[in-house]
Amino acid sequence: MLIIKCDIDLTKNKIVAKSNYGDIRYILPNQDIPALKLYDFAMWGFLPIAMRLGLNIHIQGSLSIQSIESAQLVSKVWASWLPNLYQAVQITAESIIHQPQSEQSQQNLTFFSGGIDSTFSSYSHFLKHGKDSDCLTVHGMDYKFDDHAKFEALLDQTAAFRKEVFNTSHIIQTDAYNLYSKYGCNPKGSHVTHIFSLFSCATLFDKYQHYRIAADYRLDQQFFVHPYGSNTATNRLMKNHNADLTTLDDHVTRAQKTAFLNQSQLDLSTLSICVDYSARPKNCGKCSKCMRTKAMFYAIDSKIPEIFVDTQFNQDWFQAIPFHSKLNRAFIFDILATVESASKQDEFPGYSKLKNKVTAASKRAEVNPFYGMKFKDIIRNILKILFSPNRG
């Protein structure tokens, strides 16, 4: 049993959700902690650990029935998808609140990271509907929990955009990732826990009825990259006392979003894309994600915007991209489709080589479940197959 209690320090705007398997800290650097009647947020924060370790959760405090039912269902889905990694869990609390969800006027909270997806969804939504949402940026995910300088630089880089598009910007700092990493809560080669960390932080703000998250992939691409934490199927099952989680724009690919932003009036210097930690929040222009994004821009109008430190784009641009990762292959297919629909095959750098390489990698991945795995992981998996109970 994973037993959780919350220590709230109002003078430091800090909550420590303590458990017998470690603690998760939540800090609100710019505002007071909202009045908390429910500890739904802590349950969501610990859920990946409970699923990973196969432990039921007990909260020393109150939970809403909506959160309990939602979290139990979500854990069942993940356990059915990845039974070697996760188990379904049961959740109990000192008291369970059965109030119906409130009927207040609808208020929205949008997750905002500064990347292409969240910038596209919030900007296109703003152009259509005006300012109808606050935003939440979580520190402790893309940026290390104790790295204040880089996170502040991200806030500076995105400040004008957030001011234009959102009413209020919320910031939460959490070290949930430390505990997820300690217990190996993510599958090899993919990431699941980010959606739990985000949902947990958003749940601290219970005045909202809808949390909005930009889809990372179009719906068909979500099947391609499965399992992946933020997906339309489980996102729509995630609820707390007052709010649900809405996935925005799962009908649009990353390349289409890039094209939209490129052709809009937006100052693109707000975008933070890079996976090279030393360069963030600026974009190095060399890492796999910068190269993919450059390719998307180039496929649209044969130009690379000045948001990259290195703006080179030549025949070998995809050398830094690992093709064994299906997350990357999904984006490569997206880039190829963009080039093909614009009939730019002849002028796009490395088009034929890229197409051959990604097709070969996909064929290999289809027949070889160990494709791209490290040798020690292959051995570990073979041993699992040989010694799993009820084999065959």
Residues forming the site for Zn ion (CB under 5 A): 274, 276, 284, 287, 290
Between 117 and 206, name the residue whose CB sits nearer to Zn ion: 117
The minimum distance between CB 268 and Zn ion, in angstroms, equals: 15
Cα dist from 335 to 143, 229, 318, 338, whole Å: 27, 23, 11, 5
Minimum distance between the CB of residue 370 and Zn ion, rounded to whole angstroms? Answer: 29
Q: Do residues 178 and 197 touch, judged by C-beta distance below 8 A?
A: no
Q: Is the peptide bond before 322 cis (omega within 30 degrees of 0)?
A: no
Q: Which C-beta is closer to Zn ion: that of 76 or that of 286?
A: 286
**Closest distance between Zn ion and the C-beta of residue 118, in Å?**
17
Buried b or exposed e, range 208-230, using 16+ CB within 10 angstroms:
bbbbbbbbbbbeebbeebebbbb
Q: Is the dihedral of CA 144, 150, 155, 160 positive or negative?
A: negative
252 vs 284 by CB, closer to Zn ion: 284
Q: Least distance (Å) from Zn ion to the CB of residue 68?
A: 41
CB of 276 to Zn ion, least distance (A): 4
**DSSP per-residue codes, 28-66:** -TTSPPPP-S--HHHHHHHHHHHHHHT--EEEEEEEEHH
Residue placing its CB nearer to Zn ion in the complex, 27 or 284: 284
- By beta-carbon proximity to Zn ion, the closer residue of 239 and 257 is 257
Q: Which is nearer to Zn ion, 79 or 153 (by Cβ)?
A: 153
- State the minimum distance, in angstroms, from the CB of residue 323 to Zn ion: 18
Q: Which residue blocks in 109-252 are alpha helix, DSSP H?
A: 116-129, 148-165, 176-182, 194-203, 219-225, 232-235
Q: 384: which residues sit within 8 A by CB, 6+ positions away?
A: 84
Please list, in sequence order, all residues whose beta carbon lies within 8 angstroms of the beta carbon of residue 287, skipping any fewer than 6 positions away.
Answer: 274, 275, 276, 279, 320
**Measured from the CB of residue 308, what is the shortest distance to Zn ion in angstroms?**
8
CB closer to Zn ion out of 142 and 175? 142
